[in-house]
Structure 1
Amino acid sequence: MAGVDEVGRGALAGPVTVGVVVVELSTRSAPVGLRDSKLLSPAAREALVPALRRWAPGWAVGHASAAEVDALGILRALRLAGTRALHQLPALPAAALLDGDYDWLNRPHPPPPAHCAPLADGVDVVTQVKGDLRCAAVAAASVLAKVERDALMTGLDADHPGYGWAGNKGYSAPDHLAALRELGPSAQHRRSWRLPGVAAAGQAALAEQLDLLGALEPGAGPEREPRGSGEALGARGA
């Protein structure tokens, strides 16, 4: 079975990232110190990565870019990132434990057109609230995803200075919000979201473009998260 977790859902910039960690009945106890990535310091997360990669029979990390979040919506972007991770494995796991209460690996319908079909076909997905606290494989997936996405955001910070991504990782920290108001959005920002400093007219024009995309290519338009699953506009978190 595999543990699956995402990071970056609530960020204003950068990709959404999904980690997958496969374990078997014979898999030994998890490395000492493994916890949900949000409960670990950056140094502790990075120190765990080599041990996690040795411990897990299989692991992978997938991404969906900010542009894909804009074009597909957050749920289908999560599905795309998760599918990219799953398809890196030598073989699909028989089952997956997904952190949270919503199965975004299967439920966004229709699927992203031509991006990644089949998706999680043949994988039985079970959701578990606080799965990253209760399952070592999910916690490991969260750590691997967090470390890889953080490294990506640090690299993007060098290409897009001024937003503070090396520190805030694209989330709505005060320095990031202030930079958005001063500099406006970059190519790595999720422009379909309500971003500080972006004029309402620009948001309306973008929404019209995305609606047109959805009309031309069914299933490609943005999709809102189900009620109760968290609003992805200016949220903080991992």
Structure 2
Amino acid sequence: MTTDRRATRSGRPSLRVERELQRAGHRVLAGMDEVGRGSLAGPVSVGVVVIDETCRTAPAGVRDSKLLTPAARVAMVPRLRRWALAHAVGHALPAEIDEVGIIAALRLAGTRALAQLDVVPDLVLLDGNHDWLTDPQEAGLFAELGSGASIPPVRTMIKADMRCSSVAAASVLAKVERDQQMVELASVHPHYGWADNKGYSASVHMDALRVHGPCVEHRRSWSLPGVTPAAGGSTSVGDDVDGSVEGHLLADTVSEGRSR
């Protein structure tokens, strides 16, 4: 069994993939992951963690954010920030998701995260099998919406959040920041239980939608209970269109895309 397969099954990522990419010439490497893709309300958020060869082994206990308790994620944030060469989280708002769709909104959040960095990565390592970060056809749209960052070359890897420490770290930073935003929004819109469900399709949230209807923080292009989706929207409730499936080794699961 390879190191990659053990990491995938145990949820314990390493820097093996990152070191291979650095030896191949990508010395400044950015791990990137998203959270909130399938939520009914609130932003979609993208974390990025940049490392180079001076960044040693990742802090003990780093995992994909879904495998950690909320308290463990929050406690890990200061350690991840000290470890990384640079880090950031970008967001796309519900109205932007409704306007451009979830994939373009992911791209917008990702470019906003990159724009915050004070270092330009040689390569972005992206979780999944689809490069949602690169789309030259939407360069004009993103300029209008103020993303303000050029896109480095991108490589996708299935289960990168389970295999790669930089990607797992990015998922933790994004999850903690987005969760904090949802707790703050819950104080403004208390009916929906966002402090607990973070905008996902929990029964409390669904019942509140039926009784009170949606608010400004909901994604109106989603199929919400009792609400006709906004024009152009057809995403099902809770749909998390990730497309990730169990992969093979690095040589079989890594694909490259470049911005144009």
TM-score scaled by structure 2?
0.77
The range that moved more, 144-153 or 112-121, is: 112-121
Q: 2:131 aligned with 1:103, yes or no?
A: yes
1:193-232 counterparts in 2 under 5 A? 193-198=222-227, 200=228, 203=229, 206-207=230-231
Distance 1:120 1:9 in 2: 23
Q: 2:61 aligned with 1:5, yes or no?
A: no
Q: Secondary structure at the match of 1:76?
A: helix
Q: Secondary structure at the match of 1:110?
A: helix
1:182 aligned to which of 204, 211, 214:
211
- The equivalent of 1:162 in structure 2 is 191
Note the alpha carbon deviations across 1:5-38, whole angstroms, 9 max, x for none: 0000000000000000001012111001100000
Which runs of 5 or more residues in structure 2 are unaligned? 1-28, 243-260
- The equivalent of 1:227 in structure 2 is none
- The equivalent of 1:146 in structure 2 is 175
Distance 1:237 1:9 in 2: 8
Please report the RMSD computed on the Cα atoms of aligned residues, expressed in angstroms. Answer: 2.0
Aligned length: 212
- The equivalent of 1:235 in structure 2 is 239
- The equivalent of 2:82 in structure 1 is 54
Structure 1 pair 101–158 and aligned structure 2 pair: CA distance change class (3 A): same
- The equivalent of 2:256 in structure 1 is none
Distance 1:108 1:193 in 2: 26
1:93 aligned to which of 121, 133, 147:
121
TM-score scaled by structure 1?
0.84
Aligned-pair identity (%): 57
**Structure 1 runs, 4 residues or longer, greater than 6 Å off:** none
Structure 1 pair 155–237 and aligned structure 2 pair: CA distance change class (3 A): farther
Note the alpha carbon deviations across 1:94-117, whole angstroms, 9 max, x for none: 101000111011037334352246
Letter of the 1:8 counterpart: G
Which runs of 5 or more residues in structure 1 are unaligned? 211-221, 225-230
1:64-75 counterparts in 2 under 5 A? 64-75=92-103
Distance 2:190 2:224 in 1: 18
Letter of the 1:115 counterpart: L
